[in-house]
Structure 1
Amino acid sequence: MKKVAWGLLAAWIVHDLEELATMPSFSRSPDLPQPLPKVLPMSGGEAATAIGLTGVVMAAASAAGAATGGRSRFFQASLIGFGWHAGTHLAQSAVLRRYTPGLVTTPLVVIPYSVWAWRRLKAAEVPIAPSDRRLDVALAAVVPLAHVVARLPRLRRRLRTSSRMNR
């Protein structure tokens, strides 16, 4: 089960390297519908910070999975979230009718790894932990919170600049 558990982190790294490489230029694309360009723009440093913060959670989930033979509720909830988030990538691209960050590795890495991991857990007769709403909500908040934290320095600069201009 260690391969399944650490595979989550490996699959996440491959997927998020694509996002890291493409998110800054995508977020500044002039052909995105309004008001997206005002909300999305990220610098490379902001993208790296958000991805790194999320990576800490994924590493912890993988470690929990490895330590428990895949039985950890935290690991299983993270595995579910990783697999289901593939739908957000596919939906974003369908709605925008264009490439979005993470689209290439979604069908090549995210979906195959997720299916493989659940099959391995089932074959090993690892009990599937019942859903815990608090954990599910906390994990669902990880990526949005990481993006907010990554943008805090820029938001602080804007606030300082606007307060100076209002004096």
Structure 2
Amino acid sequence: METGNERVGGAVTVGLLAAWAVHDAEELATVPGWLRRNVPQLRSRLPAVPEAVWRRAGSVDRRRFAAAVGVMGTVVAAASAAGHLSGGRSAFYQSAVDGFGLHGLVHLAQAAAFRSYTPGSVTSSVVVVPYALWARGRLRRAGVLRPARPRDLATGLAFAGVAMAASHVIARRLLFERVQ
């Protein structure tokens, strides 16, 4: 068993980037088409959502989505690097692991609410959530895991949401599209 003085291996820290890449490959392959097919049903099920959101969601193309995935990849790579360099102690890395795992749970909740497949739900169940639980266990055994307070978990999920939204804005700017 590892002690609190040992570093966490690369499988744990770089594993975040690997798990993210598998998950986002699923999303990259499915999101644009799934949105085009399902925005009408979502619009009727969620009438409180502003019409501008539905227009934007229905117009997401593969090129823009791929650019956003690339931007998000830099954030995840930075978190993985911070984790690797700190032996898993980095608050940035640990928040990213928490946010990634909670992001996976959101995907599973979306699929349950939709009562059907939603992009990201397959890899959330077999990669994202298992990776996050495994990584947290390894960090705990190494003695470097920060206690998971509800506030910290909310921060991790909020960080994931903000990073995702920012990646889409940056992608639109990189592609010289007008950002509203």
Q: Larger deviation: 116-125 or 139-148? A: 139-148
- Choose from 78, 82, 88 the match for 2:96: 78
Write the distance in 1 (CA, Å) between the matches of 2:166 and 2:114.
Answer: 24
Write the distance in 2 (CA, Å) between the matches of 1:105 and 1:127.
Answer: 25
Find the counterpart in structure 1 of residue 47 from structure 2: none
Give the aligned residue type for 1:32.
Answer: Q
Write the distance in 1 (CA, Å) between the matches of 2:146 and 2:121.
Answer: 29
Aligned length: 158
Write the distance in 1 (CA, Å) between the matches of 2:160 and 2:170.
Answer: 15
- Choose from 21, 30, 37 the match for 1:13: 21
In structure 2, do the counterparts of structure 1 residues 105 and 49 end up closer, same or farther at CA, with 3 Å as the change threshold?
same
Give the aligned residue type for 2:162.
Answer: A
Give the aligned residue type for 1:10.
Answer: A
TM-score, length-scaled by structure 1: 0.83
Query: Does residue 166 of structure 2 align to residue 145 of structure 1?
Result: yes
Write the distance in 1 (CA, Å) between the matches of 2:104 and 2:153.
Answer: 21
| Post-superposition offset of 1:142 | 0.5
Q: Deviations over 1:129-163 (max 9, x none)?
A: 78498887554310012123334558529x9xxxx
Write the distance in 1 (CA, Å) between the matches of 2:30 and 2:165.
Answer: 18
Q: Larger deviation: 2-11 or 27-36? A: 27-36
In structure 2, do the counterparts of structure 1 residues 98 and 139 end up closer, same or farther at CA, with 3 Å as the change threshold?
closer
What is the root-mean-square deviation of aligned Cα atoms in Å?
A: 2.6
- Choose from 13, 25, 41 the match for 2:33: 25
Write the distance in 1 (CA, Å) between the matches of 2:120 and 2:21.
Answer: 11
Question: What 5-or-longer segments of structure 1 have no aligned partner?
Answer: 160-167
Give the aligned residue type for 1:111.
Answer: V
In structure 2, do the counterparts of structure 1 residues 114 and 74 end up closer, same or farther at CA, with 3 Å as the change threshold?
same
Write the distance in 2 (CA, Å) between the matches of 1:37 and 1:138.
Answer: 23
In structure 2, do the counterparts of structure 1 residues 73 and 79 end up closer, same or farther at CA, with 3 Å as the change threshold?
same
Write the distance in 2 (CA, Å) between the matches of 1:138 and 1:114.
Answer: 16
In structure 2, do the counterparts of structure 1 residues 25 and 154 end up closer, same or farther at CA, with 3 Å as the change threshold?
farther
Preserved contact between residue 72 and residue 129 of structure 1 (Cα < 8 Å): no
Write the distance in 2 (CA, Å) between the matches of 1:82 and 1:136.
Answer: 7
Find the counterpart in structure 2 of residue 111 from structure 1: 129
- Choose from 48, 52, 61 the match for 2:66: 48
